[in-house]
Amino acid sequence: MIYVGYAGCSLECPITLTSLASLKELRPDLAVYMMDLLSESDSQAPKYAEQFHPSFKTIAKHNELLQELGVWYQKTQKDDQPVSHSDRVYLIEFIDHNYALINQYAGSSPELNSHLQYTIQRHTQP
């Protein structure tokens, strides 16, 4: 699962990462990655993501993947919000070094965990 955000985000990121941490407790097998939109600089993203769950990992910004997933973001002139971005969670399956998008969800939705659990259960059933 990939969430796109940045360290220090005080808007949607904390809500979504808290929801994903709750889901991670229910599904320890689930891998959660935060793609850091500020990865060009000395990023604090690993520490930021681990504040929500110690198993959360970060990955550097990958422009091609962002474009394929339809992620919207833009840098701003605001010190307290250097990036404005869409709040989506992407459920992805990796197969032979390729990925397949299973589904995407509104990150700060109250139904995020129930939607993800349902999709994961259906996708992993034989």
Query: What's the pLDDT score for residue 38?
Result: 82
Give the residue carrying structure tokens 């989506």: 88
Q: What is the pLDDT along the chain (126 residues), one digit of tens a residue?
A: 899 988 888 888 898 999 999 989 988 988 999 998 887 655 788 999 999 999 999 988 888 989 998 899 888 887 777 788 888 899 888 788 788 888 888 887 778 888 888 888 777 766
pTM (predicted TM-score):
0.84
Query: What's the pLDDT score for residue 41?
Result: 56
The CATH number linked to 54 is: 3.40.30.10
- Which of 40, 39, 34 is CA-nearest to residue 12? 34
Residue 38 sits in which domain range? Answer: 2-124
Contact 12, 21 (CB under 8 A): no
Exposure of 52 by Cβ count < 10 A (0-12 exposed, 13-18 middle, 19+ buried)?
buried
Report the number of distinct structural domains present in the chain. 1
Segment (H or E) for 92: strand 88-95
